[in-house]
Amino acid sequence: KPVGERVELADLPLRDDLRGRTPYGAPQLDVPVRLNTNENPYPPTPGLVDDVTKEVAAAAAELHRYPDRDAVALRDDLAAYLASATGVPLTAANLWAANGSNEILQQVLQAFGGPGRTALGFEPSYSMHPIIAAGTRTGWAPAPRRADFSLDVARAAGTIASAAPDVVFVTSPNNPTGQSLPLDDLRVLIEAAPGVIVVDEAYAEFSSRPSAVGLLADHPAKLIVSRTMSKAFAFAGGRLGYLAAAPAVVDALLLVRLPYHLSALTQAAARAALRHAPETLGSVAKLAAERDRVVAELTAMGFAVVPSDANFVLFGWFEDARATWRSYLERGVLIRDVGIAGHLRVTVGTPEENDAFLAASREVDR
Ligand code: PMP
């Protein structure tokens, strides 16, 4: 028995606003087909693994020293990547990096949210937005999407204008529903926002729409574009998220970030992985084609499938989504119950994994 086991969570002097909350908890189960956390199913190439290993070895020789607190070389590399991906001239001053985009979002709420302030998001969306709001004691204002999960932009702009939140989250493509927004719609939302607006572009590389980065020049005091290397870059285990914004936004985050938050090993590994961007991102087109195949086959089987611009698909309709989720698991296929009535979400995997998922889909209880 571990020392201290007789003390329970309820016995601790926990903040009242955290009592009764549940932590983020996508199950991490060891099953043959894991399609539940929107990772890239393709492992890094041997060349990338070698390069990361060499760079990490070089960084290890300096581990008695703190890392570059401002991660300037990494931010230079991220700026070069994002500038070439979006056509927008960006420099290290426009970029900030952290341990996953979750930490980016937390720093944004530490700086622009907090006690007495509010963040608004359009649900269903990424479940961590309200959890990070709770952790930073930012009030959470959920606003609705349409019944088909698309965003009624005129209505959303009206909600933003009347609720006047300090921070607005717009996820595009939206997790867990998959739809993305055109720049014209984003412009309407940005103009309605009185404070900052975070466009969470974790899945941007899978989308056919242009990035919100293209709107930064027109809205430097409001817009923050959050991105990650966890999805298209196949670097979820490396933990590297970043944002693009005006340099003043980065100045704001410097006030709340912990010194040396990004380890020397993380910075070295991420830079090595970025050098292999062309080969890694080669999987994006394959995954988009597989997504379209999964959508077509599910549709042919009579499922209701939400159109997706990302590397996952939300589908239904199930009498009891939890029971159907279990019935996939019994067939060795782990997908995600995101808590939307009648629906489940599946991540696009390799063709073999998708075949296994589709075979299970023919058999599960609906
Ligand atoms: N935003 C969205 C919309 C996501 O789906 C995720 C990952 N599930 C993240 C942010 C955070 O990812 P990470 O911390 O790995 O960058």
3-class SS letters over the chain: CCCCCCCCHHHCCCCHHHCCCCCCCCCCCCCCEECCCCCCCCCCCHHHHHHHHHHHHHHHCCCCCCCCCCCHHHHHHHHHHHHHHHCCCCCHHHEEEECHHHHHHHHHHHHHCCCCCEEEEEECCCCHHHHHHHHCCCEEEEEECCCCCCCCHHHHHHHHHHHCCCEEEEECCCCCCCCCCCHHHHHHHHHHCCCEEEEECCCHHHCCCCCHHHHCCCCCCCEEEEEECCCCCCCHHHCCEEEECCHHHHHHHHCCCCCCCCCHHHHHHHHHHHHCHHHHHHHHHHHHHHHHHHHHHHHHCCCEECCCCCCEEEEECCCCHHHHHHHHHHCCEECECCCCCCEEEEECCCHHHHHHHHHHHHHCCC
Q: What is the mean pLDDT of residues 45-72?
A: 98
State the closest ligand 1 atom to the C-alpha of 38, by its place in the atom list counted from 1.
Answer: 8
Predicted complex: ipTM over 0.95 = yes
Percent residues over pLDDT 90 in the chain: 96
Q: Establish whether residue 340 lines the binding site of ligand 1, counting it when its CB lies within 6 angstroms of any ligand atom.
A: no
Q: pLDDT of 274-314, one tens digit each?
A: 999 999 999 999 999 999 999 999 999 999 999 999 999 99
Q: What is the mean pLDDT of residues 230-239?
A: 97
> What is the band of 95 on the pLDDT scale with cuts at 50, 70, 90?
very high
**What local confidence, expressed as pLDDT, does residue 28 receive?**
86
Q: Establish whether residue 106 lines the binding site of ligand 1, counting it when its CB lies within 6 angstroms of any ligand atom.
A: no
| Mutation probe of ligand 1 site: the residue of 125, 128, 338 with most atoms within 8 A of C-beta | 128
pTM for this predicted structure = 0.97
State the closest ligand 1 atom to the C-alpha of 231, by its place in the atom list counted from 1.
Answer: 15
State the closest ligand 1 atom to the C-alpha of 37, by its place in the atom list counted from 1.
Answer: 8
State the closest ligand 1 atom to the C-alpha of 103, by its place in the atom list counted from 1.
Answer: 14
Q: Establish whether residue 38 lines the binding site of ligand 1, counting it when its CB lies within 6 angstroms of any ligand atom.
A: yes
Q: pLDDT of 104-113, one tens digit each?
A: 999 999 999 9
Distance from the CA of 125 to the center of ligand 1, in angstroms? Answer: 11
